[in-house]
Chain A
Amino acid sequence: MSTLPDGRYVDDRPYERDLGEEARNADLDVSNTRLVWRRFREHKLGLVSALFLLFSYLMLPFAGFISPYTANERAPDHLYGAPQGIHLFHEGSLIGPYVYPITAEVNLETFSWEYIRDYDNPAKLEFFCEASYYKLAGFIKTNRHLFCAPEGATVFLLGADRLGRDVFSRILYGAQLSLTVGLVGITVSFFIGIILGSIAGYFGGFLDWIINRVIEILRSLPELPLWLALSAAVPSHWSPVAVFFIISIILGILDWPGLARAVRSKFLSLREEEFVRAAEMMGAKPSRVIGKHLLPNFLSHLIASATLSIPAMILGETALSFLGLGLRAPAVSWGVMLNDAQNLASIEIYPWTAIPMLPIVIIVLAFNFFGDGLRDALDPNRS
């Protein structure tokens, strides 16, 4: 302790800044994306889900390459074939990944298929081999597969279905439709929702009244019967691609009211802000005020809530296809596959025909966790 000439007391120790506090706040002025990412990272479940979803979507173009069979390829001798495990060791020695060949026989007493495994002749899997032709990413025609069945044997990782088609391959192919149906649907709903919601919120008055009534009516109607009625109107001679698009549009058409309502209430509160007034004073057209000044304020929130409604669409597609009013064979989606699992008898005897429910549950859960994480990360009022 020393005394200054003017009588004040000063500590002699050198001045030390509290680096801890400052380091914590050092980069609080980084870009918003960075901050959001930092908060999102803390949500472990959301992060894992996001990575899983990313992986699933990136896999879609290569579904044909990863799967050993094509979607509608049949093995007539292996109807309801049982799942085959991949083994590494045969009688104590390592011979690489192999399967035991299976022959199917009808048991005329129980009237079901029985599978006899040939444990003496392990058949080695082939890698980067040539099998049936498919189109990689939709346009490169090739017959190269990651792995395929050895000569004279089959490789049904998750069993085969009623017509002897590989369930594993079909799940991968089905993902292409089942996963994108939600994306197309949410795009449709997003556009309608934002346009109508912003018109209602920005202009108010009569337009607002009309749009509000439409929202109320659509929200008070049960979705599924309307989905059913609309998809029953899809002509049966349309190509699978056309049916796919129309189904996703149908899913989106009934989903927008929730979004429009959120947009509208945000607009009502933001409309009175000074920056909006200023923009209007300077002669900006309504479309510019909405698009440049208002929407960016809460677009990220909308995206988060849109993420949360994708699973509803995936489930919707599954339900429609399951009931036979959605996608139809030869198109492959998880709902179409489950259509085969409709009766209890087949599930009891051949439980693997119900396997497509697993990817559905997992994907829907992942979307829910991801959306929750995203919403928490984007919420500035978070505690």
Chain B
Amino acid sequence: MAMLRFAVFRLFTMLATLVVVSVLIFIIINLPPGDYLSNQINELRATGQSSGVAKAEFLRQEYALDRPLWEQYLIWMGFAPGPHGFSGLLQGEFGWSFEFDRPVAELVGGALWLTVLVNLAAILFVYMVALPLGVIAAARAKTWIDYTSAFVGYLGLATPNFLLALILFYYGNRYLNLPIGGLMDPKFEGEPMSFEKMKSVLVHLIIPTFVIGTSGAAAMMQRLRANLLDELGKPYVETARAKGMSESRMLVKYPLRVAFNPFVADIGTLLPAMVSGSVLVSVVLGLQTIGPVLLTALKSQDLFLSAFVLMFVALLTLIGTLISDLLLALLDPRIRFGGRSS
């Protein structure tokens, strides 16, 4: 019951946060002077094409861009009626992309799922790499295993994501015959999901996952190692050893479980970094996620498109944080009942 109450409370906080975030995003998007349509109108006037002006003016009214900013925000969110009644994010209307002249929903539909897929794969990769390596590095502290993993970790932290992507892409294609560019073979694009398509997507995922996950895995590994080392110095470990418990069994049974808490809590900080990384890497590698869409939208001031993509990215991380909080509450009763003390 307490668990349920906690979950409901967290969900409520998340929604409130999302509203604040939407205000923030809307302000940021509107920071550049003018908007896509008024820029276009100016351009058309300057070149003397009057036929386009009328269409742009019509669109401006259609999407309420001629109203004050706060009203635009309310209409965009669906809190207030626009020219066509309530049609905002809340009603599932994501707006119109002026740059591509298509509805936003149609434009980003497939990309959303691929974004989630790429990020999920990266998170799985981080945990699958960081958990064993972190434990080994702590258990065999100050041996060559520890030093090697620390060195690789530092290198992973220091190499900019996009460069790693370029390098791996080049060598992956050359020596392992991994495919270049995109998230699936071009012939599968627009086709229904099938086993072959699945396989193609998975093969294409290898390098992006590795690139996005490396720095996160390095950071997490170091943190797990430090936590575990703290635990390993404690008297109960010595007692367990003195009683003749086998090293590996002892390690998994006690210190690892204690050191595991921060490991789960880290999803909250890991996820924003993952999403950031995936945006960058997608642009470099030409993956069909929302990364490249965001970049073009931002560059051309495509208001609704960039606002929606930013909202989606924020939602993704907030959901991730929510999940990590719930998992943590399941793992650790102190959080469920006592609330966190700072």
Contact = CB atoms under 8 A, between A and B. Distances in A.
Given A217-B20, A338-B163, A357-B160, A222 B170 contact: no
7 contacts: A213-B17, A228-B295, A228-B298, A265-B342, A344-B180, A348-B170, A360-B160
**What's the interface size class on B, roughly?**
35 or more
**What's the interface size class on A, roughly?**
35 or more
B298 A357 contact: no
Interface in A231-287: 232-233, 235, 264-265, 268
A354 interface: yes
Interface stretch (A10-18, A104-112, A137-145, A316-324): A316-324
B298 A325 contact: yes
Given A229-B310, A233-B32, 9 more contacts: A220-B321, A222-B317, A228-B294, A233-B31, A318-B160, A319-B280, A325-B295, A348-B170, A361-B155
A225 B279 contact: yes
Given A217-B20, A225-B275, A347 B284 contact: no
Interface of A is mostly: helix
Interface string B282-307: 01100000000011001101000010
B12 interface: no
A341 B160 CA distance: 13
Interface of B is mostly: helix
B50 interface: no
Given A222-B313, A229-B306, A268-B342, A319 B275 contact: no
Given A219-B272, A220-B317, A222-B272, A319 B158 contact: no
Contacts of B158: 311, 360-361, 364-365, 368
A216 B268 CA distance: 10
Interface of B: 17, 20-21, 24-25, 28-29, 31-33, 154-155, 157-163, 166, 169-170, 180, 268-269, 271-273, 275-277, 279-280, 283-284, 294-295, 298-299, 301, 306, 309-310, 313-314, 317-318, 321, 342
Contacts of A216: 17
A266 to B, nearest CB: 11
Nearest to B307: A229
A344 B317 contact: no
Contact of B294 (A221, A225, A361): A225
Nearest to B297: A232
Instruction: Name the residue among A232, A264, A265, A342 with the largest chain B CB count within 10 angstroms.
Output: A232
A230 interface: yes
